[in-house]
Amino acid sequence: MRKTIIAGNWKMNHTGEEGAAVLQSLAARVTAKEGMEVVVAPVFPYLASAVQIAAGSSVTISAQNMHWKDTGAYTGEVSPAMLVDIGVTHVIIGHSERREYFNETDETVNLKVKAALSHKLTPIVCCGESLEQRERGEMKVWIEGQIQQAFADVAAEDMTQVVIAYEPIWAIGTGRTATHEQAQEVCAIIRHKIGTLYDPSLADGISILYGGSVKGGNIAALTQCADIDGALVGGASLQADDFMDIIDHAVIK
Ligand SMILES: O=C(CO)COP(=O)(O)O
């Protein structure tokens, strides 16, 4: 059975104090549910204290990015070994904001995916098309290409540790959620592509999340879809009440 995963990407938000308050509230309120995982991704400076606040609760902590090397002359970067050292378990890789503003490419995404897997960090690998690509009818080819390149040279046994997030760029922070039919269509394309790259039963075990203006009001319809196994949530993960609303209404299939 695939896990339902609700992951909050805080992006560049919350001071240490603000984030700690939200996380304390979540740690107290999220109850352990079989088949469900709740993840929160604060900014780098507060990851270590976030791990401590979440310890013993049903919330686990993710980074929003990392470098692929363990150490070296890479000013401003953070390595997978360092994340593991402080107790981080997940890392978001290839978010469209990193691709757009920080020169993240399919090649660096692939390097980071392989580095995460070799450190037993769970990569939450993002893909998604722009509105122009969708309108030009290029969505399927684009998404399949992103998936193929993200997992190039990744062994089948490592794929079981992977989480994929489909985030259409046009639905991020816009209030314009993809309909659950649109999200399901693309998540099915992703699962099918993984099935052709590996095998269908491996693809069947991978959690595929949807991200883009997810709220308490649309999570049930999304997670009822056959190929949508949770959400990567931006804005609505910043306040404990909003995020709890999503967690409480997510469907565990
Ligand atoms: O980018 C996202 C999560 O990674 C989605 O952000 P919003 O939920 O704010 O649209």
pLDDT tens per residue, range 134-161: 999 999 999 999 999 999 999 999 999 9
Q: Which of the four pLDDT bands, split at 50, 70 and 90, describes residue 221?
A: very high
What does R_g of the chain's alpha carbons equal in angstroms?
17
User: 1 pLDDT exceeds 80?
Assistant: no
Which residues are part of the catalytic machinery?
95, 167
Share of the chain above pLDDT 70, in %: 100
| Choice from 92, 214, 219 to test ligand 1 binding pocket (greatest atom count within 8 A of CB) | 214
- Check whether 76 is labelled as a binding-site residue: no
Domain containing 33: what range? 4-249
Q: Whose CA is nearest to atom 6 of ligand 1?
A: 234
Q: Which of the four pLDDT bands, split at 50, 70 and 90, describes residue 173?
A: confident
Q: Whose CA is nearest to atom 3 of ligand 1?
A: 234
Q: Would the CB of 172 count as within 6 Å of ligand 1?
A: yes
Distance 10 CA to ligand 1 centre (A): 9
CA gap 15, 237 in Å, rounded: 15
Q: Would the CB of 8 count as within 6 Å of ligand 1?
A: no
Residue 6: its H or E element: strand 4-9
ipTM above 0.90, yes or no: yes
User: 229 pLDDT exceeds 90?
Assistant: yes
Looking from the CA of residue 165, the nearest atom of ligand 1 is 4
Q: Domain tally for the chain? A: 1
- Asked if residue 140 lies in contact with residue 185, where contact means CB atoms within 8 angstroms, the answer is no
CA gap 9, 234 in Å, rounded: 5
Q: Which long-range contacts (CB under 8 A, 24 or more apart) does 50-55 make?
A: 50/19, 50/20, 50/23, 51/86, 51/87, 51/88, 53/20, 53/23, 53/24, 53/27, 54/23, 54/26, 54/27, 55/87
Four-point Cα dihedral 179, 182, 187, 192, nearest 10? 160
Distance 231 CA to ligand 1 centre (A): 9
The burial of 76, by beta-carbon neighbours within 10 Å (0-12 exposed, 13-18 middle, 19 or more buried), is given as exposed
Looking from the CA of residue 96, the nearest atom of ligand 1 is 1
Q: Which of the four pLDDT bands, split at 50, 70 and 90, describes residue 178?
A: confident
pLDDT average, residue stretch 15-32: 97
Q: What is the pLDDT of residues 95-138, one digit of tens each?
A: 999 999 999 999 999 999 999 999 999 999 999 999 999 999 99
Q: Would the CB of 234 count as within 6 Å of ligand 1?
A: yes
User: 36 pLDDT exceeds 80?
Assistant: yes
**CATH number, position 123:** 3.20.20.70
pLDDT average, residue stretch 46-64: 98
CA gap 148, 130 in Å, rounded: 18
Looking from the CA of residue 211, the nearest atom of ligand 1 is 5
pLDDT, position 252: 97
Distance 25 CA to ligand 1 centre (A): 21
Q: Which of the four pLDDT bands, split at 50, 70 and 90, describes residue 167?
A: very high
Question: Among candidates 144, 140, 166, which has minimal Cα distance to 222?
Answer: 166
- Asked if residue 213 lies in contact with residue 171, where contact means CB atoms within 8 angstroms, the answer is yes
Q: Is the dihedral of CA 143, 222, 90, 51 positive or negative?
A: positive
The single-letter code of the amino acid at 76 is: G
